[in-house]
Amino acid sequence: MDRLEKQKSLHGRNTRPHVGIIGAGLAGLRCADVLLKYGFKVTILEGRNRIGGRVHQAKLQNGRLADLGPNWIHGTKNNPINDIAKKTGTETGNWDTRSYMFDPTGTLLSLEESERYASMMWDIVQDAFTHSNKNGNEIDPKESLWDFFLVEVAKRIPETEENYRHSRQLVLHVAEMWGAFVGSPIQTQSLKFFWMEECIEGENLFCAGTYEEILQSVAKAALEKAEIKLEKVVSQISYGKGCQDRVRVQTKEEEVFEFDDIVVTAPLGWLKRNLAAFEPKLPPRMVKAVNSLGYGCLEKTYITFPTAFWLGSDDTGRSVQGFCQWLAPRYAPNNPHRWNQEVVDLASLSPPSAHPTLLFYTFGDASRYLIEEAAKREKKAERDAFIFDFFKPYYSRLPHYSESSVDCQPTGCLATNWLQDELAGNGSYTNFQVGLEDGDEDIKTMRTGLPDVGLWLAGEHTAPFVGLGTATGAYWSGESVGRRIAEKYGLAGTRPFLEA
């Protein structure tokens, strides 16, 4: 009797198939929801002392809740996360999207000039999507998005233009901020597979009310009907022959759990570091897929002030709101490589979500530098002082800043540390790096999993292409695996959800 027939027989004797899920993030929670609806017994093993995975919040000094993981809902057309946000009354926002920029000397550019450079950057990004979609098969895997920018900027700012070198350089500095979208430098972004970075159609909404209520909504069924075991860090997953048609999971505390099927929703970064946890070894094609894809390191730093001084108005009429960038700063001695800095102004959100906080995004080497230097300080006060000192060259250049004004002195900060989080895979989310040769097939390989031996993968790294690297993608992936498991046991007649 093969595995499927055996389980059908068990089901016929009113024995429910038992599915284990590793990870209580959005993928695992949504998968549990689907499986529970089909009558499966579900146990979730979560390494942390909480649910949510990379979806997590903490309080700022001013009492406001802030997302440490995803801040955005990428795309509004047929996006279930956006639908849940509406259902739960979670406030989402989009504010003044004009770009404010400081040049390498620390001078605030005119809004007209900033807009010109930002618009050119986004036009080139859109052309790169088109080029990658149309010519992906012919593009050399070694080509990067940066290579594309070098060519396009030279075309769009000819040598006949006054100060063309200066303008070209500024556009390229702006282009480097693409790294904040993928968690890695633009120089490492694959042009061949750039099309896989395209998201769901519609607006990109900032989750002003945080993901807290969204998470609770997705988790509701699992919290009520599944068995959730917290602080269970998995060390080994045994599947296939020798397991008597059961999947065995062992934790670091040497507890052993047995399931009919297992869904591994651990992040791609965790898989990369824990391939030895699978017994027997994963098939070579699966190993290649895991190792080939990139994994970013985006970090967030919230700095709160008594008031949003940068929004004030005076006889100069100056203000900065929404998004602001400091390009290749020459004036920051604690920024050893002149990394660009980018901030989102949370004071410009609509009431009641608005509060006087600046949200800085860092990625790549800048993230590593901040994390490593902060870790050298034992006391929180010392770490906070380091963070204030690092970002002061930027917020001190905002309009109306005064060293002597208490309104301009930060009252607190909150910084993420995904790079040192082993359960997050020491990073943030999947991206597609230079040298990648079969990125789409790599995703499909992980998405397919090993259903014949009861081993499934889910998470943002196995999502439909338009959802890769997003919270929505994680949700979709869990839903898809749940339905496919139900189909495998003859409990569902519907086709897999959004498999392409």
Neighbours of 273 (CB within 10 A): 16
Q: Rounded distance, CA 423 to CA 415, Å?
A: 18
Contact 193, 136 (CB under 8 A): yes
Q: Rounded distance, CA 80 to CA 464, Å?
A: 13
Q: What is residue 500's predicted lDDT score, i.e. its pLDDT?
A: 39
Give, for all 500 residues of the chain, the pLDDT tens digit. Answer: 344 454 444 444 457 899 999 999 999 999 999 999 999 999 999 999 999 999 999 999 999 999 999 999 999 999 999 999 999 999 998 776 678 999 999 999 999 999 999 999 999 999 999 999 999 999 999 999 999 999 999 999 999 999 999 999 999 999 999 999 999 999 999 999 999 999 999 999 999 999 999 999 999 999 999 999 999 999 999 998 644 579 999 999 999 999 999 999 999 999 999 999 999 999 999 999 999 999 999 999 999 999 999 997 655 567 888 899 999 999 999 998 999 999 999 999 988 899 999 999 999 999 999 999 999 999 999 999 999 999 999 999 999 999 999 999 999 999 999 999 999 999 999 999 999 999 999 999 999 999 999 999 999 999 999 999 999 999 999 999 999 999 999 987 644 344 43
Question: Residue 224 corresponds to which tokens in the numbers above?
Answer: 């009520």
User: Closest by alpha carbon to 496, among 444, 455, 441?
Assistant: 444
Sequence-distant (6+) residues with CB within 8 A of 329 are 102, 104, 106, 335, 338, 340, 341, 393, 394
Q: What is the DSSP letter of 283?
A: P
Domains of the chain are 1-54+209-295+435-489 (3.50.50.60), 111-197 (no CATH), 298-423 (no CATH)
Q: How far is CA 352 from its chain centroid?
A: 26
Q: What is residue 271's predicted lDDT score, i.e. its pLDDT?
A: 98
Length of the chain: 500
- What is the dihedral sign for C-alpha 235, 241, 243, 245? positive
Q: What is the DSSP letter of 281?
A: P
- What is the dihedral sign for C-alpha 208, 213, 218, 222? positive
Q: What is residue 313's predicted lDDT score, i.e. its pLDDT?
A: 65
Q: What is the pTM of this model?
A: 0.94
Q: What is residue 184's predicted lDDT score, i.e. its pLDDT?
A: 96
Q: Rounded distance, CA 390 to CA 293, Å?
A: 32
